[in-house]
Structures are given as structure tokens and as C-alpha cells.
Structure 1
Amino acid sequence: MSYRAISILVSLLITLGIWGNYTLGVINLYQRQLFSVETMYGLLFSAVIYTIFLEIILQTTLAIFKHKEANDKSDERDKIISRRANSYAYKILSFGVFCVTFYILFPVLAQFTFSMPGLAKEYEIMHLIIAFSLLAEVICSSVKLISYRRGY
């Protein structure tokens, strides 16, 4: 595998691992009826810190081991792959903006879809934004990985 493909794979695994753990933590706290703003902030803060820390450590380690490839400039193929992946991610984010706007504008309909008692509506909106952002990031990374594996 090339340096770029391994780098994308590492980022994807970090994103899935840490933010999957965050999601399971939120669901677990919600089911046990311990979910509050303070516990949410604790989970969110630890997820962000772990993501930053692991990205720095693993990407630096990867660059050390593959230092020749890490210094290569991106070529036309890399730019095309990046554009294609960003296009898919942008579509997911656009759909997420539509859903969040719908959720804000029609609270009567939205109360049946994503309601967390004991949590202010602003935090529910924040979780929707986080969910669609993470989904877009996972789609973007997946499209890049598939494109690098296919060779275009």
C-alpha cells in the first residue's frame, strides 16, 4: 500500500474507533438515564483529545517509516481522487444541513424522530451535526481508499 492509502486508512480507523466509542457511550448513558450535559461534555472532550493525539502520533510514525513517500507531491491522480471523494462528502453534508434545518423548523415532527429527554434542543442539534460530519468524513475516506485500491 502507498503512503497516502495507509494514511487514509489510519485516519479512517481512528475516526471509526474513537467516534464509535463516543456514540456507544452516549447510547449507554442514555439507556441508563445518566445522560446529562456534563457527561456529554466529558465524552465529547475525551473523543476530541484522543482523536487529535492519535492522529499526531500515528501520522508522525507513519511519516517516519515511509519518509520518502511522505515527501512526494500529489499528482493529477491524487487530485482527481480527492475531488471525487470530497464531492461525495459534500453531498452527505448537504443532506445533513437539510435534515438539521428540517429538525429546527418543524419541531412538532422532529420530536418523534430524535428526542432525548433531559437534553436541550441545542445539544440534540449538535449531535446531528456531529453525526453527519462524521458520516461525511467516513464516506470521503472510504471513497479515497477504494479509488487508490482500484488505481484511479
Structure 2
Amino acid sequence: IPAVYALLPNRKTTTYSYLFHVLFSEAKKIGKTFAPILIMTDFEPGVTRAIALDFTEKNIQKGCFFRFCQAIYRKVQSNSLSTAYLEDIRMRSVIRQLMALALVPHEHVSLLFDHLLEGLDEHEREQLDGIFKYFETQWLRQTNMWIVFSISDRTNNYSEGM
């Protein structure tokens, strides 16, 4: 169950650290320990740095699945592939399979990524080269943050409608 939502004035590491210190302090006042087992965030560098600084536990941060998919789609847009994505079923399927990699166990991601790439014909490879290179450099190097396989609440996007 989500326990804390925070509306903050900016995305600075110091702001996130201040929030965490307030939460540590408030928990201590009531005889509790603020020790979350999971912190669901957007993919903001400031919050990632603050979590690394303020928590000793490793891998407690998970990125929002919605934001992960949104980032990939934005790359589709910046590579001028929006029309192809909307009109070409195969193109849309490949992009969605990339997005769906967040839903499988860590140990299968690299193999499935390679399998997806190998399944492309020459024209598709050429069209999607920028997307696959982006995915490889941006996402494959740190899968622990965006793999949401074993998590029941895979997004924090519903908090934006509040």
C-alpha cells in the first residue's frame, strides 16, 4: 500500500533528501523506523541520487512502468517513427515488445532483447536502429531499476490524477 506521496517544488537531489530526512525524523518521533522496501519513482536523476545517498538498502528504487514506456515512445517520436508506429502493426508490435521487457525476470531480459533484434529483417533493423541503440545504452545497463516483474503496483502514474 502506498504510504507517502510528495508534491515537491523541484526535482533537485537536495529537495528529495530533505523529504527523506523529514520522513526519517517523523517516524522516529513515533517510535518507528522509516525503512521502505520499495520506492516507486519517475526516472529523475535527482531522486535516484537522493535514494543512493540516504538509504543503505540496495535496489529499493523502481522506476514507474508508465514512465518507462513513455520514455521509449518519446524516443520513437524523436526518431520520426510515430506514423510508422501508428500505421504499421509489425513496427508497433516490436516497440511494444521492447516495452514489455520490463515485465519479465531480470535473467531473461538480455536474451529476449537479442531475440527481438535477431527477428528483425534488414529494413526493420535499419528503421529501428536508433531505438535499439537507445534501449541498449539507456536501459539494458541498469535493469534493476525498471524491471517490474515481481511488483504488483507497477506505476505511480495514478498519483498524478489526484
* TM-score, normalised by the number of residues in structure 2: 0.31
Q: Which has the higher helix share?
A: 1
> Which has the higher relative contact order, 1 or 2, with Cα contacts under 8 A spaced 6 or more apart?
1
* TM-score, normalised by the number of residues in structure 1: 0.32
